[in-house]
Chain A
Amino acid sequence: MTGRKPFLDGLVGLLTPDDILVSCLGANARYLPHMTVPAPVFALCDSMGAAIPLALGMALTRPDRRIVALEGDGSLLMSPNVLATVAAARPRNLTILLWVNRHYESSGGQALPDVTVDWLGVARACGIGHVWPVGDVEALRAAYREAVAAAPALVVLEVAFDPGESIPPYSERPEEIRARFASQMAAQGS
Protein backbone atom coordinates (compact mmCIF):
# COMPACT_ATOMS: atom_id res chain seq x y z
CA MET A 1 0.00 0.00 0.00
CA THR A 2 1.24 3.49 -0.86
CA GLY A 3 2.03 6.06 1.79
CA ARG A 4 0.67 9.57 2.05
CA LYS A 5 3.72 11.49 0.90
CA PRO A 6 4.22 9.66 -2.41
CA PHE A 7 0.53 10.28 -3.18
CA LEU A 8 0.88 13.94 -2.29
CA ASP A 9 4.02 14.27 -4.42
CA GLY A 10 2.19 12.61 -7.30
CA LEU A 11 -0.80 14.92 -6.97
CA VAL A 12 1.28 18.09 -6.79
CA GLY A 13 2.98 16.99 -9.98
CA LEU A 14 -0.39 16.94 -11.71
CA LEU A 15 -1.50 20.42 -10.66
CA THR A 16 -1.25 23.48 -12.86
CA PRO A 17 -1.37 27.21 -12.11
CA ASP A 18 -5.02 27.22 -13.23
CA ASP A 19 -5.97 24.94 -10.34
CA ILE A 20 -6.84 25.83 -6.77
CA LEU A 21 -6.01 23.27 -4.08
CA VAL A 22 -8.07 23.08 -0.89
CA SER A 23 -6.71 20.82 1.82
CA CYS A 24 -8.42 19.34 4.82
CA LEU A 25 -6.76 19.65 8.18
CA GLY A 26 -4.03 17.23 9.18
CA ALA A 27 -1.02 15.74 7.46
CA ASN A 28 -1.72 17.07 3.97
CA ALA A 29 -2.11 20.61 5.29
CA ARG A 30 1.10 20.20 7.25
CA TYR A 31 3.15 18.89 4.31
CA LEU A 32 1.97 21.36 1.68
CA PRO A 33 3.79 24.50 2.91
CA HIS A 34 7.03 22.56 2.52
CA MET A 35 6.30 21.61 -1.08
CA THR A 36 6.50 23.53 -4.32
CA VAL A 37 2.90 23.62 -5.47
CA PRO A 38 2.14 25.32 -8.79
CA ALA A 39 -1.41 26.26 -7.73
CA PRO A 40 -2.78 28.50 -4.95
CA VAL A 41 -3.32 26.47 -1.77
CA PHE A 42 -5.87 27.05 0.96
CA ALA A 43 -5.25 24.67 3.86
CA LEU A 44 -7.44 24.11 6.89
CA CYS A 45 -6.02 23.54 10.33
CA ASP A 46 -9.38 22.91 12.01
CA SER A 47 -13.00 22.33 10.98
CA MET A 48 -13.21 18.69 10.01
CA GLY A 49 -15.51 18.29 7.04
CA ALA A 50 -15.16 21.84 5.74
CA ALA A 51 -12.77 21.22 2.85
CA ILE A 52 -15.30 19.95 0.32
CA PRO A 53 -18.04 22.54 0.90
CA LEU A 54 -15.44 25.31 0.99
CA ALA A 55 -14.10 24.05 -2.34
CA LEU A 56 -17.66 23.87 -3.65
CA GLY A 57 -18.19 27.55 -2.82
CA MET A 58 -15.01 28.34 -4.73
CA ALA A 59 -16.01 26.17 -7.67
CA LEU A 60 -19.41 27.82 -8.08
CA THR A 61 -17.90 31.28 -7.75
CA ARG A 62 -15.01 30.68 -10.11
CA PRO A 63 -16.13 28.35 -12.90
CA ASP A 64 -13.00 29.42 -14.78
CA ARG A 65 -10.79 27.67 -12.22
CA ARG A 66 -10.38 23.98 -11.52
CA ILE A 67 -10.81 23.27 -7.81
CA VAL A 68 -9.24 20.22 -6.19
CA ALA A 69 -10.38 19.31 -2.68
CA LEU A 70 -8.51 16.95 -0.37
CA GLU A 71 -10.52 15.33 2.40
CA GLY A 72 -9.84 12.57 4.90
CA ASP A 73 -12.08 9.62 5.63
CA GLY A 74 -12.49 10.65 9.27
CA SER A 75 -13.76 14.05 8.25
CA LEU A 76 -16.05 12.74 5.54
CA LEU A 77 -17.45 10.09 7.85
CA MET A 78 -18.85 12.85 10.05
CA SER A 79 -20.28 14.83 7.14
CA PRO A 80 -20.98 12.52 4.17
CA ASN A 81 -24.04 14.64 3.41
CA VAL A 82 -21.79 16.99 1.47
CA LEU A 83 -21.51 14.41 -1.32
CA ALA A 84 -25.23 14.83 -2.02
CA THR A 85 -24.81 18.60 -1.96
CA VAL A 86 -22.01 18.40 -4.52
CA ALA A 87 -23.97 16.04 -6.72
CA ALA A 88 -26.96 18.38 -6.71
CA ALA A 89 -24.87 21.47 -7.45
CA ARG A 90 -23.05 19.66 -10.30
CA PRO A 91 -19.88 21.81 -10.38
CA ARG A 92 -18.04 20.86 -13.54
CA ASN A 93 -14.78 22.11 -12.04
CA LEU A 94 -14.61 20.30 -8.69
CA THR A 95 -12.57 17.15 -8.16
CA ILE A 96 -12.42 15.52 -4.73
CA LEU A 97 -9.62 13.29 -3.51
CA LEU A 98 -10.55 11.23 -0.46
CA TRP A 99 -7.62 9.96 1.61
CA VAL A 100 -8.63 6.74 3.30
CA ASN A 101 -6.37 5.47 6.06
CA ARG A 102 -9.01 4.55 8.65
CA HIS A 103 -7.38 6.68 11.33
CA TYR A 104 -7.68 10.14 12.84
CA GLU A 105 -4.07 10.74 12.00
CA SER A 106 -3.73 14.35 13.08
CA SER A 107 -5.16 13.79 16.54
CA GLY A 108 -2.86 10.95 17.46
CA GLY A 109 -3.71 8.08 15.18
CA GLN A 110 -6.86 6.82 16.82
CA ALA A 111 -8.81 4.34 14.73
CA LEU A 112 -12.06 5.28 13.02
CA PRO A 113 -15.15 3.23 13.91
CA ASP A 114 -14.26 -0.33 13.02
CA VAL A 115 -16.07 -0.79 9.75
CA THR A 116 -14.92 -0.79 6.14
CA VAL A 117 -16.87 1.99 4.49
CA ASP A 118 -17.63 1.52 0.81
CA TRP A 119 -16.82 5.08 -0.17
CA LEU A 120 -17.31 4.44 -3.86
CA GLY A 121 -20.77 3.12 -3.06
CA VAL A 122 -21.54 6.01 -0.72
CA ALA A 123 -20.55 8.51 -3.40
CA ARG A 124 -22.61 6.78 -6.06
CA ALA A 125 -25.58 6.56 -3.72
CA CYS A 126 -25.30 10.31 -3.13
CA GLY A 127 -25.40 10.98 -6.86
CA ILE A 128 -21.72 11.27 -7.73
CA GLY A 129 -21.44 8.88 -10.61
CA HIS A 130 -17.80 9.41 -11.47
CA VAL A 131 -15.65 7.64 -8.89
CA TRP A 132 -12.27 5.94 -9.03
CA PRO A 133 -10.44 3.74 -6.52
CA VAL A 134 -6.71 4.32 -6.41
CA GLY A 135 -4.06 2.16 -4.80
CA ASP A 136 -0.80 3.61 -6.09
CA VAL A 137 0.65 6.73 -7.62
CA GLU A 138 0.43 5.52 -11.20
CA ALA A 139 -3.26 4.77 -10.72
CA LEU A 140 -3.68 8.23 -9.20
CA ARG A 141 -2.22 9.85 -12.29
CA ALA A 142 -4.58 7.95 -14.55
CA ALA A 143 -7.66 8.43 -12.39
CA TYR A 144 -6.99 12.10 -11.77
CA ARG A 145 -6.97 12.96 -15.44
CA GLU A 146 -10.25 11.13 -15.96
CA ALA A 147 -11.78 12.63 -12.84
CA VAL A 148 -10.94 16.18 -13.85
CA ALA A 149 -12.61 15.62 -17.20
CA ALA A 150 -15.70 14.09 -15.60
CA ALA A 151 -16.13 16.46 -12.64
CA PRO A 152 -17.76 16.51 -10.24
CA ALA A 153 -15.85 13.39 -9.39
CA LEU A 154 -14.35 11.51 -6.48
CA VAL A 155 -11.03 9.71 -6.36
CA VAL A 156 -10.63 7.39 -3.38
CA LEU A 157 -7.01 6.84 -2.34
CA GLU A 158 -6.18 3.84 -0.18
CA VAL A 159 -3.37 5.26 1.93
CA ALA A 160 -1.01 3.29 4.15
CA PHE A 161 -1.21 4.42 7.76
CA ASP A 162 2.21 4.78 9.34
CA PRO A 163 2.04 5.70 13.03
CA GLY A 164 5.76 6.51 12.91
CA GLU A 165 5.54 8.89 9.95
CA SER A 166 7.45 12.09 10.61
CA ILE A 167 4.85 14.68 9.60
CA PRO A 168 6.01 18.29 9.89
CA PRO A 169 4.10 20.46 12.36
CA TYR A 170 1.81 23.26 11.19
CA SER A 171 4.19 25.94 10.00
CA GLU A 172 1.70 28.68 9.11
CA ARG A 173 -0.91 30.46 11.19
CA PRO A 174 -4.40 30.73 9.71
CA GLU A 175 -3.85 34.43 8.97
CA GLU A 176 -0.71 33.51 7.07
CA ILE A 177 -2.47 30.76 5.13
CA ARG A 178 -5.23 33.15 4.15
CA ALA A 179 -2.80 35.93 3.23
CA ARG A 180 -0.61 33.62 1.19
CA PHE A 181 -3.61 32.26 -0.66
CA ALA A 182 -4.81 35.79 -1.40
CA SER A 183 -1.38 36.82 -2.65
CA GLN A 184 -1.13 33.71 -4.84
CA MET A 185 -4.51 34.52 -6.37
CA ALA A 186 -3.60 38.17 -6.81
CA ALA A 187 -0.31 37.26 -8.47
CA GLN A 188 -2.35 35.38 -11.04
CA GLY A 189 -4.60 38.39 -11.55
CA SER A 190 -7.53 36.58 -9.98
Chain B
Amino acid sequence: MDGAQRIVAGLESAGVTLAASVPDTWIGRLMAEVRRSARLRALDVAREEEAVAAACGAYLVGGRGAVLIQNAGLLNCGGILAGLVELYRIPCFFIVSLRGDDRDPVYYHAPKGRVTEETLRAWRLPYARADRQGDLTEQVRGGVESCVESRGPFVLLISGEDLA
Protein backbone atom coordinates (compact mmCIF):
# COMPACT_ATOMS: atom_id res chain seq x y z
CA MET B 1 0.00 0.00 0.00
CA ASP B 2 1.14 3.55 -0.60
CA GLY B 3 0.99 6.20 2.11
CA ALA B 4 -2.43 7.51 1.14
CA GLN B 5 -3.86 4.02 1.26
CA ARG B 6 -2.28 3.39 4.65
CA ILE B 7 -3.76 6.62 6.02
CA VAL B 8 -7.21 5.74 4.75
CA ALA B 9 -6.86 2.25 6.18
CA GLY B 10 -6.13 3.88 9.53
CA LEU B 11 -9.25 6.03 9.29
CA GLU B 12 -11.32 2.98 8.42
CA SER B 13 -9.90 0.86 11.22
CA ALA B 14 -10.64 3.65 13.69
CA GLY B 15 -14.27 3.68 12.64
CA VAL B 16 -14.21 7.09 10.99
CA THR B 17 -17.40 7.57 8.99
CA LEU B 18 -17.12 11.12 7.66
CA ALA B 19 -14.07 12.80 6.11
CA ALA B 20 -14.65 16.52 5.58
CA SER B 21 -12.17 18.41 3.50
CA VAL B 22 -10.95 21.48 1.72
CA PRO B 23 -8.22 20.12 -0.55
CA ASP B 24 -4.80 21.28 -1.59
CA THR B 25 -2.53 19.29 -3.88
CA TRP B 26 -1.58 16.80 -1.18
CA ILE B 27 -4.94 16.57 0.60
CA GLY B 28 -6.57 16.22 -2.80
CA ARG B 29 -4.52 13.06 -3.41
CA LEU B 30 -5.56 11.75 -0.03
CA MET B 31 -9.22 12.56 -0.63
CA ALA B 32 -9.08 10.66 -3.92
CA GLU B 33 -8.24 7.62 -1.83
CA VAL B 34 -10.99 8.47 0.67
CA ARG B 35 -13.49 8.46 -2.18
CA ARG B 36 -12.47 4.91 -3.05
CA SER B 37 -13.41 3.76 0.45
CA ALA B 38 -16.77 2.09 0.93
CA ARG B 39 -16.71 2.97 4.64
CA LEU B 40 -15.96 6.68 4.51
CA ARG B 41 -18.28 9.45 3.40
CA ALA B 42 -16.30 12.22 1.71
CA LEU B 43 -17.70 15.68 2.37
CA ASP B 44 -16.41 18.56 0.27
CA VAL B 45 -16.79 21.82 2.16
CA ALA B 46 -16.13 25.39 1.09
CA ARG B 47 -14.15 26.50 4.14
CA GLU B 48 -12.23 24.67 6.81
CA GLU B 49 -14.33 25.69 9.82
CA GLU B 50 -17.24 23.88 8.16
CA ALA B 51 -15.21 20.70 8.12
CA VAL B 52 -14.57 20.97 11.84
CA ALA B 53 -18.24 21.56 12.65
CA ALA B 54 -19.37 18.73 10.36
CA ALA B 55 -16.91 16.31 11.94
CA CYS B 56 -18.18 17.31 15.39
CA GLY B 57 -21.78 16.87 14.25
CA ALA B 58 -20.99 13.38 13.03
CA TYR B 59 -19.51 12.47 16.38
CA LEU B 60 -22.44 13.84 18.36
CA VAL B 61 -24.88 11.47 16.66
CA GLY B 62 -22.77 8.33 16.84
CA GLY B 63 -20.35 8.59 13.94
CA ARG B 64 -16.72 9.60 13.82
CA GLY B 65 -15.49 12.55 11.82
CA ALA B 66 -12.12 13.57 10.46
CA VAL B 67 -10.95 16.89 9.04
CA LEU B 68 -8.56 16.86 6.07
CA ILE B 69 -7.18 20.32 5.29
CA GLN B 70 -4.06 22.32 4.55
CA ASN B 71 -2.19 24.18 7.29
CA ALA B 72 -3.52 27.45 5.87
CA GLY B 73 -6.97 26.16 6.72
CA LEU B 74 -5.91 24.99 10.15
CA LEU B 75 -4.76 28.53 10.85
CA ASN B 76 -8.33 29.63 10.00
CA CYS B 77 -9.74 27.31 12.63
CA GLY B 78 -8.62 28.88 15.90
CA GLY B 79 -12.07 30.20 16.73
CA ILE B 80 -13.99 27.02 16.15
CA LEU B 81 -11.39 24.90 17.88
CA ALA B 82 -11.82 27.05 20.98
CA GLY B 83 -15.55 27.67 20.71
CA LEU B 84 -16.74 24.22 19.66
CA VAL B 85 -14.16 21.44 19.90
CA GLU B 86 -12.53 22.53 23.16
CA LEU B 87 -15.58 24.19 24.73
CA TYR B 88 -17.83 21.16 24.24
CA ARG B 89 -15.00 18.61 24.47
CA ILE B 90 -15.78 16.87 21.19
CA PRO B 91 -13.29 14.45 19.62
CA CYS B 92 -11.97 15.86 16.35
CA PHE B 93 -9.17 14.29 14.33
CA PHE B 94 -7.26 16.42 11.85
CA ILE B 95 -5.00 15.42 8.98
CA VAL B 96 -3.19 18.57 7.92
CA SER B 97 -0.80 19.03 5.04
CA LEU B 98 2.28 20.75 6.42
CA ARG B 99 3.07 23.11 3.59
CA GLY B 100 6.15 25.26 3.73
CA ASP B 101 8.56 23.14 5.72
CA ASP B 102 11.96 22.15 4.37
CA ARG B 103 10.43 19.28 2.35
CA ASP B 104 8.06 21.54 0.42
CA PRO B 105 9.49 22.93 -2.81
CA VAL B 106 6.83 25.62 -3.24
CA TYR B 107 8.25 28.94 -2.00
CA TYR B 108 4.99 30.69 -1.21
CA HIS B 109 4.02 28.16 1.42
CA ALA B 110 7.08 28.98 3.55
CA PRO B 111 5.42 31.55 5.86
CA LYS B 112 2.78 28.97 6.85
CA GLY B 113 5.44 26.36 7.39
CA ARG B 114 7.31 28.65 9.76
CA VAL B 115 4.33 29.16 12.08
CA THR B 116 2.32 25.94 11.93
CA GLU B 117 3.93 23.93 14.69
CA GLU B 118 4.45 26.98 16.89
CA THR B 119 0.75 27.75 16.48
CA LEU B 120 -0.22 24.20 17.38
CA ARG B 121 1.84 24.45 20.54
CA ALA B 122 0.41 27.88 21.37
CA TRP B 123 -3.12 26.52 20.90
CA ARG B 124 -2.14 23.50 23.02
CA LEU B 125 -3.22 21.08 20.33
CA PRO B 126 -1.69 17.62 20.55
CA TYR B 127 -0.02 16.79 17.25
CA ALA B 128 2.51 14.58 15.52
CA ARG B 129 4.26 14.41 12.19
CA ALA B 130 3.34 11.38 10.11
CA ASP B 131 5.83 8.54 10.50
CA ARG B 132 5.96 7.01 7.06
CA GLN B 133 8.86 4.78 8.01
CA GLY B 134 6.73 3.29 10.76
CA ASP B 135 3.19 1.95 10.93
CA LEU B 136 1.28 4.86 9.44
CA THR B 137 -2.04 3.04 9.57
CA GLU B 138 -1.62 2.47 13.29
CA GLN B 139 -0.52 6.06 13.81
CA VAL B 140 -3.74 7.29 12.24
CA ARG B 141 -5.89 4.83 14.15
CA GLY B 142 -4.15 5.77 17.38
CA GLY B 143 -4.65 9.45 16.68
CA VAL B 144 -8.38 9.00 16.26
CA GLU B 145 -8.58 6.93 19.42
CA SER B 146 -6.63 9.55 21.37
CA CYS B 147 -9.24 12.12 20.32
CA VAL B 148 -12.00 9.91 21.63
CA GLU B 149 -10.20 9.20 24.88
CA SER B 150 -9.25 12.84 25.52
CA ARG B 151 -12.51 14.22 24.08
CA GLY B 152 -10.57 16.74 22.10
CA PRO B 153 -8.53 17.36 18.97
CA PHE B 154 -5.46 15.67 17.57
CA VAL B 155 -3.55 16.87 14.53
CA LEU B 156 -1.50 14.62 12.27
CA LEU B 157 0.80 16.62 10.01
CA ILE B 158 1.59 15.07 6.65
CA SER B 159 3.84 15.94 3.74
CA GLY B 160 3.51 15.00 0.11
CA GLU B 161 6.16 12.32 0.62
CA ASP B 162 3.98 10.61 3.20
CA LEU B 163 1.37 9.84 0.55
CA ALA B 164 3.77 8.00 -1.74
Contacts and interface: CB of A to CB of B under 8 A. Distances in A.
Interface of A: 20, 22, 42, 44-47, 49-62, 65, 79, 81-82, 84-85, 88-89, 174-175, 177-178, 181-182, 185, 190
B123 interface: no
B11 to A, nearest CB: 15
A45 B82 CA distance: 12
Nearest to A44: B84
B80 A50 contact: yes
A61 B46 contact: no
Given A178-B90, A181-B60, A57 B53 contact: yes
Name, among B49, B62, B88, the residue most crowded by chain A CB atoms within 10 Å (CB to CB). Answer: B88
A12 B45 CA distance: 30
28 contacts: A46-B87, A47-B84, A53-B49, A53-B52, A53-B53, A55-B57, A56-B54, A57-B43, A57-B54, A57-B55, A57-B56, A57-B57, A58-B57, A58-B61, A61-B18, A61-B41, A61-B61, A79-B49, A82-B46, A82-B50, A85-B44, A89-B43, A174-B88, A174-B89, A178-B60, A181-B60, A185-B62, A190-B62
B134 interface: no
A50 B62 contact: no
A60 B87 contact: no
B44 A53 contact: no
Contacts, number: 116
Given A60-B41, A85-B45, A178-B88, A42 B54 contact: no
B61 A20 contact: yes
B18 A60 contact: yes
B61 A175 contact: no
Given A47-B84, A57-B18, A174-B87, A81 B55 contact: no
Contacts of B17: 61
Which among B45, B62, B65, B90 has the greatest number of chain A C-beta atoms within 10 A?
Answer: B45
Interface SS of B by simple majority: helix
A56 B57 contact: yes
Contacts of A52: 53
Nearest to A51: B53
Nearest to A64: B61
Given A47-B79, A49-B49, A81-B50, A57 B87 contact: no
Given A46-B83, A47-B80, A190 B46 contact: no
A56 B47 CA distance: 14
A10 to B, nearest CB: 25
Interface string B52-92: 11111111111101000000000000011011100111100
B28 to A, nearest CB: 16
A42 B60 contact: yes
Centre residue among A20, A50, A182 by max chain B CB count within 10 A: A50
B97 to A, nearest CB: 20
Contacts of B87: 45-47, 174
A62 B59 CA distance: 11
B20 interface: yes
B43 A58 contact: no
- Counting chain A CB atoms within 10 Å of each CB, the highest count among B44, B80, B82 belongs to B80
